[in-house]
Chains A and B, each alone.
Chain A
């Protein structure tokens, strides 16, 4: 494999709340290379978005990055002065959010917002920036860009806004795009267009994509490799084909079985995962999934399993293996 573009090692992001320390991300490690798509999947509160924000160093207080390393092209992002980090954000690593309406500024025209990114990071004139903005809008498939460039976000549909957001994210040709639930707010037919666009850009621009989603279907279509997260920890890490063929962790298996609709009605009850995700402030002893796991045994309640690969398998955090 090519040299890693980003290598995250033992990332720890904690939120120091009055009620205690919530370990939102607890020793997460992975690496991503050029043109690669890595997926992070999990349910709300599992730490997938906090992982993304940590890479951008955009953790709001009372959150802190409590430990770990993030090597990006040889630099440790955690050691960079804020000033240098600013030239990484939006330039070398950029981010696409779930809701384009809240992440675009409603009082500026689309064109102005994209040009701003270019002017901020590149030594170019306003005129050049305007030209590049038009080119970018065309590249992300926005029809009649000469008109759209002068519009405000609220005039555009959700799909168009997400395209504009992507245009902004790729403006400086970043090497890594972090896409946090990029299609969750969109209708399915628009979702498939946006996923196709991201895939095309990865191909033509050679960007790597860190794709964060709760939707296993999106992971199956887009990613090469996937991390399954639960309560701030990676519980399974595998190549996508391997994960869907042979899911090892009981949580991953449960997630897959919870998705309805592959067989018709009345055939089978869904095998739901019982219970709820425990609070990060009151995690159980031992394995954090032990409150909901159908296979748990005494060791699961005493000791937390490490993330380790059984022979011939992929890394999984479970005492069954």
Chain B
């Protein structure tokens, strides 16, 4: 089979949820959780997806996994259209895409032993005999830094960091190609966070994994990602190589986001770019969604919506302040 350079391609994906009201569930509106997202992830790459709560980053993850059908657009995994295939083919594809969740407390079944939890994927995909599976479970436990003799323990006997290791082991047991990490560190203490970040990086190298790393934590994303995409209210507003994005952010939202992160330097009292309070002003669907809060909005912003354009090599921005050449308009 032809190997695609891009393991994952997301093309014009929209996910809209109807808002219904009343006995007849009449549709009175629509929530545009994801609204026209295009992105590619190369094999072996880590793409960081950042944005604040409600920006649609987790919904996008669910659409990619095929857990939610997109309202519009397509997701291709290794050349196959995730949203149109069904049955056995979809089952096969799912083996190659796994997910780890934010909360290691609610994402593990409290009544199932660690060994059973990790073996579950192999049973579903009918991999190996029961002895082979047990062997694989022990092996993968060791890889993620759990002791194989803990195989018959239950999740409550483990700390948060160890539970997240169980979640990672469960995802890795069936040899996936793509791992979607949805805020995998947010519930962990800083010192434990660092252990899990190191583990994820080691595993990527060892198994040539591709990561979609969804997070609201910019420092973590900066550390782990090759490229970063920034989402705001369901749309991508900026995407670039990690250091390019952090050193040379172009979209006013990205800049505000970077400025808002407190720095560990008491002398470096920063000039914060103040963002307008949360949008109390209505958001106009045909214009830039960030315009009501944007400190740099221009008269043009009330006229037309920006497109995502490439302003520098692989640096994409959705803002009217930049023209095709990537230079700010005066």
A positions within 8 Å CB-CB of B: 43-44, 141, 143-144, 157-160, 187-193, 195-196, 214-218, 220-221, 240-241, 244, 254-262, 264-265, 269-274, 276-277
> Assuming the A-B contacts A190-B278, A217-B261, A265-B226, are A270 and B194 also in contact, with contact meaning beta carbons closer than 8 angstroms in the complex?
yes
User: Do B219 and A188 have beta carbons less than 8 Å apart?
Assistant: no
Contact string against A for B residues 251-275, beta-carbon threshold 8 Å, 1 for contact and 0 otherwise: 0000011011111111101001011
Closest 8 CB pairs of A and B: A261-B219, A217-B262, A260-B223, A272-B194, A187-B52, A258-B194, A43-B189, A273-B191
Residues on B with C-beta less than 8 A from A258 are 190-191, 193-194
A245–B246 Cα gap in the complex (Å)?
Answer: 24
> Assuming the A-B contacts A43-B189, A214-B189, A265-B224, are A260 and B264 also in contact, with contact meaning beta carbons closer than 8 angstroms in the complex?
no
- Which of B159, B198, B277 interacts with A276 by CB under 8 Å? B159
User: Do A271 and B194 have beta carbons less than 8 Å apart?
Assistant: yes
Closest residue on chain B to residue A158 by CB atoms: B53
B157: interface (CB < 8 Å)? no
User: Do B194 and A220 have beta carbons less than 8 Å apart?
Assistant: no
A178–B17 Cα gap in the complex (Å)?
Answer: 41
Residues on A with C-beta less than 8 A from B192 are 43, 272, 276
Closest residue on chain B to residue A41 by CB atoms: B190
- Which of A244, A265, A272, A274 interacts with B225 by CB under 8 Å? A265
A193–B262 Cα gap in the complex (Å)?
Answer: 12
User: Do A265 and B190 have beta carbons less than 8 Å apart?
Assistant: no
- Which of A143, A187, A192 interacts with B272 by CB under 8 Å? A192
Residues on B with C-beta less than 8 A from A190 are 52, 278
> Assuming the A-B contacts A217-B264, A264-B243, A272-B195, are A255 and B190 also in contact, with contact meaning beta carbons closer than 8 angstroms in the complex?
yes
Report which residue of A158, A240, A273 has the largest number of chain B beta carbons within 10 angstroms of its beta carbon. A273
B146: interface (CB < 8 Å)? no
B203 to chain A, nearest CB (A): 13
A246–B223 Cα gap in the complex (Å)?
Answer: 24
Closest residue on chain A to residue B196 by CB atoms: A272
A261–B219 Cα gap in the complex (Å)?
Answer: 4
Provide 8 A-B residue pairs closer than 8 Å at the C-beta atoms, listed in order of the A residue. A192-B275, A193-B275, A220-B264, A241-B267, A244-B266, A264-B222, A265-B225, A276-B162
- Which of B194, B263, B265, B277 interacts with A260 by CB under 8 Å? B194
User: Do B190 and A220 have beta carbons less than 8 Å apart?
Assistant: no
B308: interface (CB < 8 Å)? no
User: Do A270 and B197 have beta carbons less than 8 Å apart?
Assistant: yes
> Assuming the A-B contacts A157-B278, A189-B256, A254-B191, are A270 and B264 also in contact, with contact meaning beta carbons closer than 8 angstroms in the complex?
no
Report which residue of B193, B201, B260 has the largest number of chain A beta carbons within 10 angstroms of its beta carbon. B260
A220–B198 Cα gap in the complex (Å)?
Answer: 25
B positions within 8 Å CB-CB of A: 46, 52-53, 159, 161-162, 189-195, 197-198, 201, 216, 218-226, 242-243, 246, 256-257, 259-267, 269, 272, 274-275, 277-278, 280
User: Do A255 and B257 have beta carbons less than 8 Å apart?
Assistant: no
A259–B274 Cα gap in the complex (Å)?
Answer: 25
- Which of A160, A188, A195 interacts with B257 by CB under 8 Å? A188
A217–B220 Cα gap in the complex (Å)?
Answer: 14
Report which residue of A214, A260, A264, A272 has the largest number of chain B beta carbons within 10 angstroms of its beta carbon. A260
User: Do A269 and B264 have beta carbons less than 8 Å apart?
Assistant: no
User: Do B264 and A244 have beta carbons less than 8 Å apart?
Assistant: yes
User: Do A260 and B220 have beta carbons less than 8 Å apart?
Assistant: yes
> Assuming the A-B contacts A187-B216, A193-B277, A260-B222, are A269 and B265 also in contact, with contact meaning beta carbons closer than 8 angstroms in the complex?
no
A68 to chain B, nearest CB (A): 27
> Assuming the A-B contacts A43-B189, A188-B52, A276-B159, are A143 and B277 also in contact, with contact meaning beta carbons closer than 8 angstroms in the complex?
yes
A192–B218 Cα gap in the complex (Å)?
Answer: 14
A258 to chain B, nearest CB (A): 4
Closest residue on chain B to residue A142 by CB atoms: B277
B216 to chain A, nearest CB (A): 7
> Assuming the A-B contacts A260-B219, A269-B198, are A189 and B257 also in contact, with contact meaning beta carbons closer than 8 angstroms in the complex?
yes
- Which of B46, B161, B201, B243 interacts with A269 by CB under 8 Å? B201
A253 to chain B, nearest CB (A): 11
- Which of B220, B226, B277 interacts with A261 by CB under 8 Å? B220
> Assuming the A-B contacts A220-B264, A241-B266, are A270 and B198 also in contact, with contact meaning beta carbons closer than 8 angstroms in the complex?
yes
Closest residue on chain A to residue B201 by CB atoms: A269
- Which of B53, B223, B243, B256 interacts with A270 by CB under 8 Å? B223
A261–B263 Cα gap in the complex (Å)?
Answer: 11
Known interface pairs A43-B190, A187-B53; 13 further A-B residue pairs with C-beta atoms within 8 A, sorted by A's residue number:
A190-B278, A192-B262, A193-B277, A216-B264, A240-B266, A258-B194, A259-B219, A261-B218, A264-B246, A272-B198, A273-B191, A273-B194, A276-B161
User: Do B264 and A259 have beta carbons less than 8 Å apart?
Assistant: yes
> Assuming the A-B contacts A270-B194, A272-B198, A276-B161, are A160 and B278 also in contact, with contact meaning beta carbons closer than 8 angstroms in the complex?
yes
A190–B226 Cα gap in the complex (Å)?
Answer: 27
